């Protein structure tokens, strides 16, 4: 994966123009989604992702606050894509089996 450095020590821009956390298999958007969804603090993020250093977490949060509009747009796009996939696969045989067992 080719990356472009940023002024944030632990953040680079990946192939698709998406900010990623260097040394981790994680996009900034993924970390921000957890922060928004669960209200997690940097310490809780570290507890949930012990492979991330506090420096990586704080760099991702700083990147977000300086680029909130573009990260929020990326998050919205990903949520929309997930919803489309849910609708396409809602009637799959796996979904039907799970529904018949009361698991979905």
Tokens of 22: 């260097």
Per the structure, the complete domain to which residue 53 belongs is given by 4-100
Among the residue ranges 8-12, 38-42, 59-63, 74-78, the one predicted with the least confidence is 74-78
pTM value is 0.78
Q: What is the pLDDT of residue 98?
A: 82
4-52 confidence digits (pLDDT tens)? 889 999 999 988 889 999 999 899 999 999 999 999 999 999 999 999 9
Tokens of 1: 């994966």
Number of domains in the chain: 1
């Amino acid at each position: 994966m080719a990356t472009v450095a940023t002024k944030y020590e632990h953040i680079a821009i990946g192939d698709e123009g998406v900010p990623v956390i260097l040394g981790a298999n994680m996009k900034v958007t993924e970390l921000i989604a957890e922060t928004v969804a669960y209200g997690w603090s940097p310490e809780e993020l570290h507890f949930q992702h012990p492979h991330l250093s506090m420096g990586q977490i704080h760099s991702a949060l700083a990147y977000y606050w300086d680029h909130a509009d573009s990260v929020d747009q990326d998050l919205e796009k990903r949520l929309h894509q997930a919803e489309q996939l849910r609708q396409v696969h809602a009637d799959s045989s796996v979904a039907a089996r799970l529904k018949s067992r009361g698991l979905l």
